[in-house]
Structure 1
Amino acid sequence: MESFSSFFDSQSRSASPNSWTYDSLKNFRQISPLVQTHLKQVYLSLCCALMASAVGAYLHILWNIGGLLTTFGTLGCMFWLLATPQYQEQKRVSLLMASSLLQGASIGPLIDLAIEFDPSILVSAFMGTAIAFACFSGAAMLARRREYLYLGGLLSSGVSILFWLHFASSIFGGSVALFKFELYFGLLVFVGYMVVDTQDIIEKAHLGDLDYVKHALTLFTDFIAVFVRILIIMLKNSAEREEKKKKRRD
């Protein structure tokens, strides 16, 4: 056991100041106990929001409630939450759960399609999103403070590009190549937001902003955006494989 400790000590002394060391993996020295408690509240609220969205998707499968109305309801609940004072904690948590449930119902048609096509795709997409979220959020926590915040401007530009591409394709018609670009570029942008938003939440908490409900809503939006794109990509790839198999049989 002592040999392992001496090995890691020698590695940490020889490593450069910017590299990850064994000590940095053992604890989060850059994050104060108050901020660590805040992050626990954020991620607990995020887990509850994801469960609420799963309930919303299940309600759509039962009663076919997902659509444009639930999408507007999701946006309405989000804006209502952001406009509600922070001291009304119970109301804001309820609005977070309501917006999550409606968001789950809104993506219910896509989830229903995945279940009909191959239920394993849905599980794989969720697990892939969860692993990506854990890895990139962990990287943001272990990195130096504010190290990735400069990416926020680039990611905002990426969202703007996606908006105008979607707007142009809805008016002039889109191609398969453009759809693929929007899909993969959007996935890259929102994976980047996982890192940037995590560091932004940590930095705001250090400065006294401990609004865990709003921060959980931010991470929930990132999670859903990545999940939807991964699910569409996996469905598309599976459909193409099935089509190739049918052509070979014919």
Structure 2
Amino acid sequence: MEAFFSGQYSARGWSYESLKNFRQISPAVQNHLKLVCAFIPVDFPVYLTLCSALVSAAAGVYLHILFNVGGTLTMLGCFLGISVISMTPPYAEKKRFGLLMGTALLQGASIGPLFEVILNLDSRIILNGLVGTSLAFACFSGAAIVAKRREFLYLGGFLSAFLSVLLWMQFASTIFGQNATMFNVELYLGLLVFLGYIVFDTQVIIEKAHRGDLDYVKHALTLFTDFVAIAVRILIIMGGVAALPSLARGGES
């Protein structure tokens, strides 16, 4: 800790001088992020890996709709997969890539019940929600890429604080019960927090890549969790809005 504040942490650690360095990302880091690769799944860049994980998650949603497999077990399996990926050495690329696809599949199955409910309500909501999520993700992640290095890393403290508030709100809701106002606050505040995490995590990934950490599987997993968290909240918001007219008609009858 003393070494950190003295600016002499280590060659790979943080220092005050390094925090003031806002050099643009290098070509090597740009290639780490771009959608280009020669062999699959070797040398897989971050965003192409992310797209593969999203396709796997979509397959998980489809499996739930067909066989009703999503639930607590798939969610626990998803958490276990994330832990195994973190403990697997980075050089085992094919194994970690397969684990990521399996984890994304389980994540998709876990959120499958939400998609099933929205499909019964209005299938167009899913397309609109996913398109909106993709546009939001592209805009916020793109803004982090073209910005100066470490320009948005200060958001980490604020986002962590708001995330803690969300966790305490959910904890309080389980004890005292949840009303509509509390649910909406959690929903919209959570959406803003994870939009901020897209910017923050993208810049963290860029900084790690500059420091030699080209673990594209772990980086894609980070962005994948942000994407899913935003998509779920957008779909809930749009699904709730779409349900209002039907509820009003039901009240009139």
Range of TM-score over shorter length: 0.7 to 0.9
- Partner Cα separation in structure 2 for residue 37 and residue 145 of structure 1: 16
Question: Which stretches in structure 1 are left out of the alignment for 5+ residues?
Answer: 1-28
> Which residue of structure 2 aligns with residue 150 of structure 1?
154
**How far does residue 80 in structure 1 lie from its aligned partner after superposition?**
0.3
* TM alignment of 1:1-250, pairs within 5 A: 30-40=24-34, 41-247=45-251, 250=253
Question: Which stretches in structure 2 are left out of the alignment for 5+ residues?
Answer: 1-22, 35-44
- Partner Cα separation in structure 2 for residue 204 and residue 223 of structure 1: 20
Spell out structure 1 runs of 4+ moving beyond 2 A.
Answer: 244-248
**How far does residue 36 in structure 1 lie from its aligned partner after superposition?**
1.1
**How far does residue 162 in structure 1 lie from its aligned partner after superposition?**
0.7
Q: Aligned Cα RMSD in Å?
A: 1.1
1:184-212 deviation digits (Å, cap 9, x = unpaired): 00000000000000111111111111100
Structure of greater Rg? 1
With the length of structure 1 as denominator, give the TM-score of the two structures.
Answer: 0.86
- Percent identical across equivalent pairs? 58
Read off the aligned partner of 2:31 and give its amino acid letter.
T
- Partner Cα separation in structure 2 for residue 141 and residue 33 of structure 1: 12
Q: Secondary structure at the match of 1:144?
A: coil
Q: Which has the higher helix share?
A: 1
- Partner Cα separation in structure 1 for residue 115 and residue 25 of structure 2: 37
With the length of structure 2 as denominator, give the TM-score of the two structures.
Answer: 0.85
Read off the aligned partner of 1:32 and give its amino acid letter.
S
1:51-78 deviation digits (Å, cap 9, x = unpaired): 0000000000010000000000000000
Read off the aligned partner of 2:222 and give its amino acid letter.
T
Aligned residues: 221
Read off the aligned partner of 2:106 and give its amino acid letter.
L
**How far does residue 142 in structure 1 lie from its aligned partner after superposition?**
1.2
